[in-house]
Chain A
Amino acid sequence: MSLSEIPALAPVAGPKSRPLRKKGSGGRLTAILLLLPPALILFSLFVILPLTESGYYAFFDWNGYGQPENFVGLRNFEQVVGHGVFHTALGNTAKIVIASLLIQMPLALFLALLIYRKTPTNSLFRLIFFVPYILAEVAAGLIWSFVFDGNYGVTASLAQSMGIENFFILADRDWAFVAVLTVVIWKYFGFHMMIYIAALQGVPEDMIEAAQIEGANKVQIVRYVQIPQIKPAIIVSAFFAIIGSLQVFDVIIPLTNGGPSNQTHTIVTYLYTFGLTRMKIGFGSAIGVLLFIAAVGVAIFYQRIFMKGAKA
């Protein structure tokens, strides 16, 4: 009896489930048809179009007025690559990357290890350390330009109290960029610290306890338990640090405006100064294209090497 019912049921179940599946795929199609176009249009309009336009302008000598007509081929690129200030900007950007990786991230990790446990005082410290990151870049730049001011700033009173002559670090060709680096590290370490805090809180407490029972000291726990456990977070934060370093701009403009003698430009302030403010849109576009290639290159390279490794 029951056996006869089974074949009877089977054909019923078959067709029943099939329309369901069809309905499901149809729903997905509708979803695609409904939801993809707006996203695609927005993406094309605000990302793809400007990108291709910029790539197109890079081949013209164009001042932004009217239509680009004067096709110059690769001349803009040649000029960028041959420009001394571009080399300085490139070097400075590299310095920011290195400082971010070697000073900012370890500092952030150190502070995160000190204050990741949830206590009222730790919350207060987290807030204090995170404040620079919340501050607008331009405001941060302005504040620090006052701090560095050799006439009225903190450095001025510091110099006076030490009995040495006032110094003007932002006016010094050799030292101005060190000042910029200081501000960049100060501005962004809080961001990385927060990533580490979140990750450290996710490290199972029993692992640490186990290590303690095994006789590991604090440094060993950090070295062999906590850091390996938060490796994915470190990899992500390093990625942000590198991409962020390629884009440093609005801290520098109020601080030094790229000076003295174009010594403190990054790639982006270089683009802004020599492309936009000078109305050499073609030239600026060429710099933009180079920056884009560099950023995409870093992203792909990084994904290939580290992100995959992190997953495995």
Chain B
Amino acid sequence: MNKFLPIALMVAASASMASASTEIRVLRVQPSAKEGAFYERVEKAFEEKNPDVDVVFEYIANEAYKSKLPTLLQSSTKPDLFYSWGGQTLVEQTKAGFLADISGAVSDEVRATFPEPALAAYTVDGALRGLPLYATEVAFWVNTELTEKAGVDYTTIKTWDDFLAAVQKIKDAGITPIMAGGQDKWPLHFYWSYLALREGGADAINKAMQGEEGGFSGEAFVKAGADFQKLTALEPFQPGYMATTYEVASGMFADGKAAFHLMGDWDYGPMRARSQSGKGLPDEQLAFMAFPAIGEPVTEGGAGATLGGMNGWAVTADADPKASEFLTFMLNLEHQKEIGSEGIFVPIVKGAETSLTNPFFQRVAADIAGSTHHQIFLDQYLGASVGATVNDISADLAQGVIAPEDAAAQVQEAWEFR
């Protein structure tokens, strides 16, 4: 690659000489129409203020984005800003020297607008590598009509045992208790991850990454597997859940085919679009229920931890200084409020949550703000390889083809060999 660097520089130099304007290339996973329109507006506003800058948004579909990014980052056509899920992938990208240190480019004033944990997610080796865009939370979507029909009051479900009892009751009423997109595996990993957080406490994952308390083969993770299998022993999922993708499961839940669906808040809009009627369940029939606590958390903070995303933007090395400027512009309070009021997603900047009109998103904002620890999805946080192993063992645990001890040991092994 280095052989081509001089050529790349020459090409880049001649290109920038040819047009006086600076081009800022932004790469994002294909967004919804609403979100895309938002970027268009921000882009126009920024270009009006900076006539010499040309902001170019590029979109690539989800899976292709993940596989193309590493190659793109090494090429001469790398973007200035790109969408990131944070976590170990961000760390690896930093180690490979692909990311800029924008600590100096982001003023203290701007910094102060973000909650500390959100900034921490984009800080590697003590330097800011990008900025968070929005947070997501995973919890149970509840079809309240079905729970009522089964005689279950979902508001009283506080512990895992309560939940198991509710599942049994719903099943006895002839209703599918839980919808799951098992073919994609990651929807199942939410169970294992959440249970590990509850069992091991807020810092369970970070401790395991440091190799403390037996790493990923430690007690908390084995217990998480056992807890999960207490649920799967009840056969709570819809028939054929291992051949159901997330998209299909999401649509089926919106069609009223199950009482619960463990999924992120982002599913609010898409699940309706995926339903057969195109409308899904009405708001009155929907509830967003926190993942139950376990009876006795092994460590403090476990009961109040949330699982979800802290998605944002990373800045590539040698990106034009204007890129960080555009980034902070895109994430300023005004724009974050727009994101909230449009119902695109839950904004992360402090004070922007007041713009939220959707009660579900308001709830998510409050949950994350009040959380003892917001854990980024393990399949992102632990990097591609270990993350995929977590997804694998979660699917295996769900099908009962692996023991909790073996599942935990597999993750630990993947972590050691990552």
A interface residues (Cβ-Cβ under 8 A, vs B): 63-67, 79, 145, 148-151, 166, 168-171, 173, 256-257, 259-262, 273, 276-280
Q: Choose among B1, B95, B184, B244 the residue with the greatest number of A CB atoms under 10 Å from its CB.
A: B244
Question: In the complex, are the beta carbons of B70 and A173 less than 8 A apart?
Answer: no
The interface stretch among B166-174, B195-203, B234-242 is B234-242
Question: In the complex, are the beta carbons of A259 and B185 less than 8 A apart?
Answer: yes
Q: Which of B64-99 contact A (CB under 8 A)?
A: 66-67, 70-71, 73-74, 92-93, 95-98
Complex partner residue of A67 from B1, B183, B185, B242, CB under 8 angstroms: B1
B135 adjacent to chain A (CB < 8 Å)? no
The answer for the CA separation of A279 and B399 in the assembled complex, in Å, is: 26
Given A171-B182, A256-B183, A277-B384, A261 and B396 touching (CB < 8 A)?
yes
Question: In the complex, are the beta carbons of A168 and B395 less than 8 A apart?
Answer: no
Question: In the complex, are the beta carbons of B384 and A260 less than 8 A apart?
Answer: no
- Listed by A's residue number, 21 A-B pairs whose Cβ atoms lie within 8 Å are A65-B73, A65-B93, A65-B96, A66-B74, A148-B243, A149-B240, A151-B252, A168-B242, A169-B243, A170-B242, A171-B182, A171-B240, A173-B399, A259-B183, A259-B242, A259-B395, A261-B396, A261-B401, A276-B67, A278-B388, A279-B70
- The chain A residue sitting closest to B66, CB to CB, is A277
For the complex with contacts A63-B383, A151-B252, A259-B395, 6 further pairs of A-B residues with Cβ separation under 8 Å are A149-B243, A150-B243, A171-B244, A261-B395, A279-B70, A279-B384
Question: In the complex, are the beta carbons of A262 and B92 less than 8 A apart?
Answer: no
Q: Which residues of B contact A67 (CB under 8 A)?
A: 1
Question: In the complex, are the beta carbons of A261 and B399 less than 8 A apart?
Answer: yes
B392 adjacent to chain A (CB < 8 Å)? yes
Per DSSP, are chain B's interface residues mostly helix, strand or loop, or mixed?
Answer: helix
Q: Which residues of A contact B73 (CB under 8 A)?
A: 65
Question: In the complex, are the beta carbons of B240 and A150 less than 8 A apart?
Answer: yes
- The chain A residue sitting closest to B384, CB to CB, is A279
Q: Which residues of A contact B185 (CB under 8 A)?
A: 259
B417 adjacent to chain A (CB < 8 Å)? yes
Q: Which residues of B contact A150 (CB under 8 A)?
A: 239-240, 243
The answer for the CA separation of A148 and B183 in the assembled complex, in Å, is: 14
Question: In the complex, are the beta carbons of B417 and A278 less than 8 A apart?
Answer: no
The answer for the CA separation of A280 and B417 in the assembled complex, in Å, is: 10
Question: In the complex, are the beta carbons of B417 and A170 less than 8 A apart?
Answer: no
Q: Which residues of A contact B74 (CB under 8 A)?
A: 65-66
Q: How far is the CB of B242 from chain A (nearest CB, A)?
A: 4
Question: In the complex, are the beta carbons of A66 and B97 less than 8 A apart?
Answer: yes
Q: Which residues of B contact A63 (CB under 8 A)?
A: 70, 92, 383-385
Per DSSP, are chain A's interface residues mostly helix, strand or loop, or mixed?
Answer: loop
Q: How far is the CB of B255 from chain A (nearest CB, A)?
A: 10
Question: In the complex, are the beta carbons of B67 and A166 less than 8 A apart?
Answer: no
The answer for the CA separation of A148 and B417 in the assembled complex, in Å, is: 37
Q: How far is the CB of A192 from chain B (nearest CB, A)?
A: 29
Question: In the complex, are the beta carbons of A256 and B385 less than 8 A apart?
Answer: no
Complex partner residue of A260 from B95, B98, B182, CB under 8 angstroms: B182
Question: In the complex, are the beta carbons of A280 and B385 less than 8 A apart?
Answer: yes
Q: Which residues of A contact B392 (CB under 8 A)?
A: 261-262
Question: In the complex, are the beta carbons of B239 and A257 less than 8 A apart?
Answer: no
Question: In the complex, are the beta carbons of B240 and A168 less than 8 A apart?
Answer: yes
Question: In the complex, are the beta carbons of B92 and A278 less than 8 A apart?
Answer: no
Q: How far is the CB of B83 from chain A (nearest CB, A)?
A: 17
Smallest CB-CB A-B distances: 3 pairs: A168-B240, A65-B96, A171-B242
The answer for the CA separation of A279 and B243 in the assembled complex, in Å, is: 25
Q: Which residues of B contact A170 (CB under 8 A)?
A: 183, 240, 242-243
Given A148-B243, A173-B401, A261-B401, A66 and B96 touching (CB < 8 A)?
yes
Question: In the complex, are the beta carbons of B239 and A168 less than 8 A apart?
Answer: yes
The answer for the CA separation of A262 and B384 in the assembled complex, in Å, is: 17
Q: Choose among B242, B252, B384, B401 the residue with the greatest number of A CB atoms under 10 Å from its CB.
A: B242
Q: How far is the CB of A259 from chain B (nearest CB, A)?
A: 6
Given A166-B239, A171-B240, A257 and B183 touching (CB < 8 A)?
yes
C-beta contact mask, B150-185 vs A, less than 8 Å → 1, else 0?
000000000000000000000000000000001111
C-beta contact mask, B382-412 vs A, less than 8 Å → 1, else 0?
0111001000100110010100000000000
Q: Which residues of B contact A64 (CB under 8 A)?
A: 70-71
Q: Choose among A66, A256, A257, A280 the residue with the greatest number of B CB atoms under 10 Å from its CB.
A: A66
The answer for the CA separation of A285 and B399 in the assembled complex, in Å, is: 31
- The chain A residue sitting closest to B414, CB to CB, is A278
